[in-house]
Structure 1
């Protein structure tokens, strides 16, 4: 059973357990004022839109508003640091991502926070896989053909990313490592700026998010070879996993709820149950599907385990491939 399906099953079990104990058993009086959810990225992006979808339903479950507070900057580091230093009273939470808690620590030893020591894990709430895109004039019709093509043309092909040290670059480097191919990195200031060059055939491959990449595929401007999740994504069921060709290959942007270190266990349980119940809501699932995000749900322990494994994977790639964020 893959990780996401296992965690979804656990989340359902948690919801049933919560419902069987008079709904959301809660610490006395909590919450008696709005809860601040720090989003360490700008308004309007995928993380922000996910946070707004989840927070509205969580506010209903908790009986008080969950208010979004965008604190962008330093690749998510500014907002994460604010959350880490907030009082551990349940009124300041963080929506962390792969960038803040997996890749960030691998790229910099000078972060003002420790992703394990300074946070309390609450719930693994979402997962957004990417897709492998090539121009229509590419000779490859599937992942195996593209790997063979790259091996026959070492150093002649290139890939685009949204910048040095981003999940887009690291996904491509993970692919190169597992496929045993040499492909030149061409960084852009965002994948949207790279799409025209990919369509024109000036770029040979790029890994992009489902919601931004698939419209170009369905309009016939690009070809998608596979999805970066271990199983087919319900958001693009026609695409085979890259793992079918490169066993174990997986890359995604995950989303997790955290509080500051020392958050009381009863408050953690309260927020965790509200998050898992919200993710099981049909309206929330529909909105997230349109964002290209798969709802997950988990225990705090499952979030901590997943992030530890993910961070170790990306740290190895950063070291082995000599990746810098500058």
Structure 2
């Protein structure tokens, strides 16, 4: 999700006047050296920018500098291994996503670690997905898309859909859409959400399931048919939900902090409390909503339960669709 407009707006929010620096809880954990936050993607994407917004205000509250360290590669494996190679003391965290720490463990049979090596710390946001089609496709709503997909498949020329990679939340959204509707769409993976939406805008692929933060700026060259949320999204109230359009699908993915599973609970509780303060700030909330993210604010127990539900929900989809990473 390397979107220039998202990057500018979020960085602008991060540059707002800093909040007051409340004292730490008297019995809370205090960092003894700089805290490193590992990002499994290159600089400039949505996960990276949200991490930097968090880092600025987390460091203020924890009384230590917080260093953002981009470790892209191998669908999150590089950053994950880097985390597990550090002491489990709270001084190294990872900003994971549904792609890197829910779908990847389900679809990769030879991961060099166990997902149980990680523990939930605190969420930051969820990503709002959309269904978008190329301008040249003769449909204007989801039901029209379904009718065309069925007739095209019967004629032996199934419609194509772009995702931002094998095993991505984008592919999972597309495969879930296929399962729920019974339509046949041919998957075409790309290396990123930007290339996927550009392929649709260039009339090279028929449909895509990508975040609103990616499809929204391209609305002049694609048709956005629906948002994949339970309710209409407040910054795009004209877009119907998939449920309104007759497809009972909610598709999103999470962004949040994880730590080594052996990290002491008191350390994790302190970091969770600090993150929750930051993510409740008006500046952070405004930046998320403006750029088509949904706030997610949970204590550690609720965050762990959320991740467990995500794994259960997506596991069936990954197995049925045969989504697998090679290598």
Bin for the TM-score computed over the shorter chain: 0.7 to 0.9
d(CA) in 1 for partners of 2:175, 2:38:
30
1:27, CA displacement in angstroms? 4.3
1:290 Cα offset (Å): 4.4
Q: Secondary structure at the match of 2:136?
A: coil
List gaps (5 residues or longer) in structure 2.
1-21
1:255 is matched with which residue? 255
Q: What does residue 123 of structure 1 align with? A: 122
Quote the offset at 1:23 in angstroms: 5.8
Report the counterpart of residue 63 of structure 1 in structure 2: 63
How far apart, in 1, do the equivalents of 2:38 and 2:62 lie?
Answer: 17
1:159 & 1:28 partners in 2: Cα distance?
49
- 3-state SS of the aligned residue for 1:242? coil
Moved more, 238-247 or 279-288: 238-247
Instruction: Give, in whole Å, the separation in 1 of the partners of 2:169 and 2:130.
Output: 12
Query: Are the aligned partners of 1:256 and 1:303 in contact in 2 as well (CA < 8 Å)?
Result: no
CA distance in 2, matches of 1:320, 1:28: 45
CA distance, structure 1, for counterparts of residue 27 and residue 66 of structure 2:
17
Structure 2 SS opposite 1:153 = helix
**What CA distance in whole angstroms lies between the structure 2 residues aligned with 1:84 and 1:230?**
36
Greater RCO structure (CA 8 Å; 6+ sep): 1
Equivalent position of 2:139 in the other structure: 140
The match for 1:90 is 90
Separation (CA, whole Å) in 2 of partners of 1:197 and 1:300: 40
Deviation, 1:52, is 0.4
Q: If the length of structure 2 is used for normalisation, what is the TM-score?
A: 0.85
Pick which of 29-38 and 298-307 moved more. Answer: 29-38
In the alignment, does 2:298 pair up with 1:301? no
SS across alignment from 1:320: helix
Counterparts of 1:23-102 in structure 2 under 5 Å? Answer: 24-27=24-27, 30-102=30-102
Q: Choose 31-40 or 235-244, whichever is displaced more.
A: 235-244
How far apart are 1:263 and its partner, in Å?
1.8
Q: Deviations over 1:252-296 (max 9, x none)?
A: 120121111122222112111110100011122233334432221
Question: Which residue of structure 2 lines up, in the alignment, with residue 321 of structure 1?
Answer: 321
What is the Cα deviation at residue 126 of structure 1? 0.8
CA distance in structure 2 between the partners assigned to 1:266 and 1:195 by the alignment: 43
Contact 1:151 1:181 in 2 (8 A): yes
What's the CA shift for 1:79? 0.7
Alpha-carbon distance, 1:202 to partner: 3.3
Deviates more, 1:194-203 or 1:32-41: 194-203
Question: Is the contact between residue 107 and residue 325 of structure 1 (CA under 8 Å) also seen in structure 2?
Answer: yes
Offset of 1:248 from its aligned partner? 4.1
Which of 168, 171, 176 does residue 169 from structure 1 map onto? 171
Matches within 5 A, 1:147-162: 147-154=146-153, 155-162=157-164
- Alpha-carbon deviation of 1:179? 1.0
Structure 1: tracts of 5 or more residues without a match: 1-21
- Report the number of matched residues: 302
Instruction: Specify the alignment match of 1:193 in structure 2.
Output: 195
Residue 234 (str. 1) matches residue 250 (str. 2):
no
Q: In the alignment, is the contact (CA less than 8 A) between 1:84 and 1:261 conserved in 2?
A: no
Query: 101-110 vs 23-32, which deviates more?
Result: 23-32
Q: Give the TM-score taking structure 1 as reference length.
A: 0.86
